Structure 1
Amino acid sequence: MNIQKLPWAGIRVELESTAIAIDPLYHFPEKLGEPHESFFHLEAYGPAAAVLITHQHPDHFDPRAIIAAYGSDVPVFVTEEIVDIAVSSGLTRVTGLAIGVPCTIGPFTFLAAHAVDGSGDPQVSWIVRGGGKQIIHAGDTLWHGYWWKFVKAFGKFDVACLPVNGAVTQFPGVTPPSDQPICLTPEQAVTAAEILGAKTLIPIHYKAAHHPPIYTETSDIPNRLAKSGQDRIQIRFLQTKEVFSI
């Protein structure tokens, strides 16, 4: 199984010449300011037989880019609550999956698992299995108590792709603003990966967005990850388009 890093929070997973993309993004939301990393048309990473979306926020769900790269009829899997949103975007093969219901595409079996969204919208993690390996992609989830239940239900993970930027937001119209992070901090991501029994943590959801005071990424992410993960877990920083094989 090969995991290819896409910008921001996306990954592309390939096995036996079949690939699925999770949260692929090209059109970076204007409200987050100018991106601090390069974005490429999704075709640059190769084809995808299916797309998995963690939630409907525009930094994770980019239907224009999905349609342009893979076609409007590419199978797209979302949480049940946002099927209407996905269909209204022009995608024609949208499936809403309930938590824990497995689905198969080629050599992959995947299922939606719990996540907790920073603004209270529906969100899932995706557990993907294939070739005797198992990974999890957790969107931009907050800390939650499901980590232990994941291991009990599904076993340990080879790779955990977890958000690490611990962002604090002050979006217009949201009052009063909170000083609490809307997704995992570096230290929380390391602890979550350790609980999951992951052999490797691949950090996602960092670098592209830092636009204070609207969106403020936490500081010193690489060093904090390295310090927290020392003697606990392997941390693999991937550059966009870079591939990690398990």
Structure 2
Amino acid sequence: MDAKALSGAVALVTGASSGIGAATSRRLAAEGAAVALVADRRDPLDRLVCEIARAGGLAEAFDSDITDPEQAYQVVQDTLERFQRLDILVNNAGVMLLGTALHATIEEWDRMVALNVRALLHVTHAAVPYLIDGASTSARQVADIVNIGSTSGRVAQPAGSVYSLTKFGLNGFTEALRQELLRERVRVSVVEPGTAPTELADHLDDDIRETALGQISGLEPLHPADVADAVAYIVLCDRRAAINQIMIRAADQTW
């Protein structure tokens, strides 16, 4: 018997080029899964493939704009062509553009909805039939969808209205999909991280970034690996158990 819990399993991780996505990809590969790394930037994906290979794991990079439904469908097909199956989907790709309704642009709102909502729907829709097949054909007898949400899906704050819209909506989508796929042995879960060092703040205007960073000044943030540990906990559970939600905050975070 293989010593690694996910040997023979295949995972697809979106937003895998940095932060939580990269950490999750490393963790799943360390547990024995072959990992399809998906993002819209090729160079960091290629570096991560090499890093995982040096650690004894297996990964493949797929640069794709998953806000385009055809590209989202194709990246799932490319994963199947490379690895012949799909057992785990981690929907991590996202963007946070803070700004009040008076000052935010409609283009910023549309960008968040496109990546945080539509891209997730595109990839999930393309992957579900193969996850069902994965659940029925693997030794684990279960497959997993793990959606990466945010504490902003529980606690709304000024300047984050549309970001919270996408994350509150993600929680509802996750719960409904969980119920839909129960009989298919596909577990559906959400992990809601609090403050963590990611590239989300890199997309903010300078003045808003300064305000956002000021809010978390003095906090010891989560590490991306902390969130990756939560994802691993979900997918490593025996098929008799389903971890539906995990909220993980920095220990000093109050919101």
Fold-level match, TM-score > 0.5?
no
Between structures 1 and 2, the one with greater helix share: 2
Q: Give the TM-score normalised by the residue count of structure 2.
A: 0.39
If the length of structure 1 is used for normalisation, what is the TM-score? Answer: 0.40
Larger radius of gyration: 2
More strand as a share of residues: 1
